[in-house]
Amino acid sequence: MNPIFKSHEKDFMRIEADQVCVDYNGTVALYDASLNLKAGSICGLVGMNGAGKSTFFKALMGFVRPSTGKIRLNGLRVNQAQKDQTVAYVPQNEGIDYAFPVSVWDVVMMGRYGAMNIFRIPRESDRRAVFHALERVDLLDLRNRPIGSLSGGQRKRAFLARAIAQRASVLLLDEPFAGVDVPTEKLMAELFLQFRQEGHTILISTHDLNHVRDFCDFVVLINKTVLAYGETSEVFTSENLHKTFGGIPPNPLSGPTSNKDFINE
């Protein structure tokens, strides 16, 4: 057990969602979704495509307004939390135009925009934050390269660096392990554990059950609503997974995984 868990922040709630319902023009995408995540935890958000994972993310980021229910991030309303740089979103690779003329450094610097003044002129502290973030994801050598020249895994790391530079305490990651190479996967898993130690709260949307078992403290199983929620070992039962995936879990529950050895510290 690392010391931060025993600190006064132990029970500080980073994410509080209380009976959140979201509908798009009358079509219910998510109902009655509740979730409480404290500082220093990693939670997997597991469900099929269309189960409401991205809707839940959007609600947490303030992109859709819940029709009922309430959301608090670090105890703040979502729009206030945004201004406080509380949430960082790490997108899937598909959502980004990689032919855009920006360098890796520029992309990571975008994480600092919210903390800058209206002219977005980087101060020394912003440059240090970017430098440090690039160092942590091992992209410092590639910082002047155009973002489009990076490999899939490097791109993912660049956006992770942007979230680090933002110094957000809540990280939302959309399928972080999709299409990344083994070194990146290893580096990201290590980073996630460090983030947890630093008191960040990480919510990972995925349908890769192996990664969830490997380092998520908590799991939310979702299918239009929260089917089950709790510590991974308790929630990950075949009965719950059956409910979530309608009898077709995408991955076998047992069997060796690629990154066991360094997860178990």
Partner 1 sequence: MSEFLISITPIDWLLDPLTHEFMRRALMVSALVGGVCGLLSCYMTLKGWALMGDAVSHAVMPGVVVAYALGLPFSLGAFVFGVGSVTLIGFIKQKSRIKEDTVIGLVFTGFFALGIVLVSKIKSNIDLMQILFGSPLGISQSDVKQTLIISFIVIFILLLFRKDLMLYCFDAKHARSIGINTGILHYLLLTLLSLSAVVGLQTVGIILVVAMLITPGATAYLLTDRFNTMTILAVISSSFSSVLGVYISYWSDIETGGSIVLVQTLIFLIAFLFAPKYGIFKNQSLINNG
Q: With respect to partner 1, which residue has the nearer C-beta, 111 or 176?
A: 111
CA dihedral in degrees (159, 162, 163, 168; nearest 10)?
A: -170
Long-range contacts of 138-143 (CB under 8 A, 24+ apart): 138/187, 139/104, 142/104, 143/103, 143/104, 143/105, 143/108
- Applying CB under 8 A, does 252 fall inside the site for partner 1? no
**Residue 145-164 contact track with partner 1, rule CB under 8 A, x = bound:** xx-xx------------x--
Smallest gap from residue 41 Cβ to partner 1 (A): 20
Using CB under 8 A, which residues numbered 88 to 107 contact partner 1? 88-89, 91, 95-97, 100-103, 106-107
What is the side-by-side order of every strand in the sheet holding 226-231? 87-90, 170-174, 201-206, 41-46, 218-222, 226-231
How many CB atoms are closer than 10 A to CB 206? 21
How many CA atoms lie less than 13 Å away from 23 in the CB half-sphere?
8
> 3-class SS at 253?
coil
The one segment of 5-13, 79-87, 206-214, 234-242 that binds partner 1 by CB under 8 A: 79-87
Taking the complex as a whole, the smallest distance from the CB of residue 87 to partner 1 amounts, in Å, to: 6
Among 5, 12, 113, 131, binds partner 1 (CB under 8 A): 113
Token readout for 220 is: 């939310």
Cα separation, 212 vs 257, in Å, equals: 11
Q: What is the DSSP string of 122-190?
A: --HHHHHHHHHHHHHTT-GGGTTSBGGGS-HHHHHHHHHHHHHHHT-SEEEEESTTTT--HHHHHHHHH
Which residue type sits at 68? Answer: T
User: Which residue, 101 or 247, has its beta carbon nearer to partner 1?
Assistant: 101
Alpha helices in 27-97 (DSSP H): 53-61, 78-83
Is 140 one of the binding residues for partner 1 (CB under 8 A)? Answer: no
The site string for partner 1 over 48-67 (x = CB under 8 A, - otherwise) reads -------------xxx----
The interface with partner 1 within residues 192-251 (CB under 8 A) comprises none
Residue 125 or residue 149: which is nearer to partner 1 going by CB?
Answer: 149
Segment lying near partner 1 (by CB under 8 A), choices 64-72, 142-150, 180-188, 218-226: 142-150
The nearest distance, CB 6 to partner 1, in angstroms, is 31
Please work out the total of residues on this chain that contact partner 1, with binding judged by CB under 8 A. Answer: 34
Residues that bind partner 1 (CB under 8 A): 61-63, 79, 82-85, 87-89, 91, 95-97, 100-103, 106-107, 110-111, 113-114, 118-120, 145-146, 148-149, 162, 166
